[in-house]
A and B are shown apart, each in its own frame.
Chain A
């Protein structure tokens, strides 16, 4: 090998033309393009969230009137869910890491992969064009008949969601085939990193459930354009039917959002404990089981909707039964540290933070699953706080952990570790400060989606807004030092964290255009540190590439 271990020619610089990026079939470059796109969506959604929080500092008008407020929180939700969280981890980190982790040169269908990206972009643009057409309010759930009674903006949003859905389906399909057909010699199912297992499970949900939202928004579209009565009672439709359709997708979609986070946290706990992830097989297979069973609990969003009491009881029971494997996973992650060798680097701080925040999300989810308690808490700020603990405290915190973890490998640059730790703590504190007051006011009865509110809730709203500023400060700090590292960062090593997955042990930094110089042959599981002792002996970088070139 003539190159230095850190590689002089790599996937980033082998061809620098704009065209080589826009038409790339390289999963790593597609991952980077997704990273830029979803980061912009996150920024836009985040700014809207800040506007919402500022407006809620008083019951009176501060920044905007009721109509503007109602559209702001709606757009915040649509952007965050459809344009950010759903694609974030699978499309960014899945694209970048999945093929390398299984020892493949690329995904099974590289052209389809590029197509997914552009379909996503088109969908996002169509959804945003609703802003130009007219008002869209009422939240991301689009419950009928309200949603069909407002202007035509809704048509663009739903069409955008419909289009983005195809991106999600195609990405899922691509990953399923890739994991089945392209694993390197020796990469058995039991040796797969848990990140792969979780992305694989996510892909199953994407392929199974996304068509339903496609059908639903198509029906909504037909009802509005052709006046066919499906959901609107004035046309002879059934509004509760829409809720069934909607949650039949949107509850599984929660697993599209959270399963990838499970994968990242598993990898982080294993790597930074230098230990086999406790209950590996349970964590792996329960993700797949959740992918299927997650399709059977949608009715727990509808305990007060007018669905039959019998349905509510069954959905409540199933919800609890699905909660258990998730709880066991948390215990598995914690016990991975037991007798391990724990190193608290920035990505690990996010994993630790995830365990705290996601557990709160889980326990409050159990409360909402209890029929009698849900009646009181449904559609209050308690629910808002709960799903932010799951979506942001779970998914986004894990995604930030993953971003820091793979950043040196993706970009070839180290970020500023002390600033990374400060930001992780700021995000953790700011997040709790934002959403703990929302739990309390929710329990006291503050309904969600309220532009104005009774004066007794103001102090909670104020604390929540102050918290959102701390949270924003943390997030901007992250953006700052990550961007800074691109230009001024130290050159990253081969294996920044001493991980044993192939992207760290068998590639250069950044990886080569074709990932590997030679086909990797896998001889141990993803977390079998005790079988790789020789790599750690002399304290130098842990890499099969370095060893081979010496």
Chain B
């Protein structure tokens, strides 16, 4: 297949691209064969049964139940095969390995920003190491965007005030195009960036050279000083619940329901605390934190995640 990609598909540079492509070719070839058969039959009938005499009226054809059953059953089997196969690959595309290296991606009119836990950040190029699963935690600062890397066969919408994610593991060094694929205004078509896949050593060097900002978790720890008045980080109860071991746990709420304490939960608990009160506590947390910047919230979430 080479660097230029195959006859139709673009370059394939992730672990799952090959699986998507195999499915793509299976569907394409199966469709092409059936399509060709239909067209051949059509052209043959057009020629063979061409009207010769204007008074001719053909006899009706007795319909064959077996034939009808065939062209219902065979396509049904075929679509169930591609459905199941597509489902299988879809699950893989949606399940990031737990040891993935995480990068925060923020889409905004009309740039992509990439933030690293070590404190590096960049706009036009996302540096990633080859051969390591990478999970992107994405959100938008304005309207909908969509993060698309053709060479990795991944795409996902990027939504304001909500976290979505994609993951990939690059298999080849090189630069790969990032497109925005959800219309976002005047400069939608220039909201581009590149994934730069480099070796582990080069990645480490790049990170070290570019980590000039405070890493998000450290920023979060600083900000947490005001939270610590009510929330402990060691499991002891305060005015509010302790945040130790909170991230990723199942959380019992005062209304009797249970939710997964994922990024969205944490974010909403900071911005709109009364909307989901932990069991055994009063809704007394002030709503005044809604004015925090996206970066500060990301920092707090990153810090809370370190409280294992």
- Chain A interface (Cβ within 8 Å of chain B)? 66-67, 70, 137-139, 143, 145-146, 149, 233-234, 239-240, 273-276, 278-279, 282, 304-306, 309, 312-313, 316-317, 320-321, 323-324, 327-328, 330-331, 334-335, 337-344, 352, 355-356, 359-360, 363, 366-367, 369-373, 375-376, 378-380, 440, 443-445, 447-454, 528-530, 532-533, 536-539
Contacts and interface: CB of A to CB of B under 8 A. Distances in A.
A156 B296 CA distance: 39
Contacts of B292: none
B156 interface: yes
A372 B51 contact: no
Q: 5 tightest A-B contacts by CB? A: A445-B150, A372-B89, A371-B90, A370-B86, A450-B189
Interface of B: 5, 8-10, 19-20, 23-24, 27-28, 31, 34-35, 38-39, 41-42, 45-46, 49-52, 54-61, 63, 68, 71-72, 75-76, 79-80, 82-83, 85-91, 93-94, 142-144, 146, 148, 150, 153-157, 159-162, 164, 177, 179-190
5 contacts: A145-B144, A145-B160, A316-B87, A335-B45, A529-B58
A306 B181 contact: no
A342 B54 CA distance: 10
A340 B188 CA distance: 53
Contacts of B39: 356, 359
B183 to A, nearest CB: 5
A106 to B, nearest CB: 33
A279 B56 contact: no
Most buried by B among A342, A352, A366, A375: A375
Contacts, number: 248
B159 A306 contact: yes
B35 A359 contact: yes
A366 B153 contact: no
A331 B155 contact: no
A328 B72 contact: yes
Contact of A274 (B57, B68, B85): B57
A537 B56 CA distance: 8
Contacts of A328: 68, 71-72, 75
B89 A376 contact: no
Contact of A146 (B41, B52, B79, B144): B144
Nearest to A278: B63
A293 to B, nearest CB: 15
B189 A452 contact: yes
Given A366-B82, A449-B183, A530-B57, A342 B49 contact: yes
Given A372-B86, A372-B89, A447-B148, A363 B187 contact: no
A316 B8 contact: no
Given A367-B28, A372-B89, A373-B23, 10 more contacts: A304-B157, A313-B87, A327-B75, A334-B42, A337-B49, A372-B20, A379-B182, A443-B10, A447-B181, A530-B60
A278 B64 CA distance: 10
Contacts of A305: 157
A372 B23 contact: yes
Nearest to A341: B51
Contact of A539 (B28, B55, B58, B179): B55
A366 B9 contact: no
A338 B79 contact: no
A371 B91 CA distance: 9
Contact of B186 (A70, A323, A330): A70
Contacts of A453: 189
Contact of A445 (B60, B89, B179, B188): B179
Contacts of A139: 183
Contacts of B68: 279, 282, 328
A146 B183 contact: yes
A338 B60 CA distance: 10
Contacts of A66: 186-187, 189
A494 B150 CA distance: 58
B87 A371 contact: yes
Given A334-B41, A371-B87, A306 B162 contact: yes
A233 B161 contact: yes
Contacts of A309: 90-91, 94
A375 B93 contact: yes
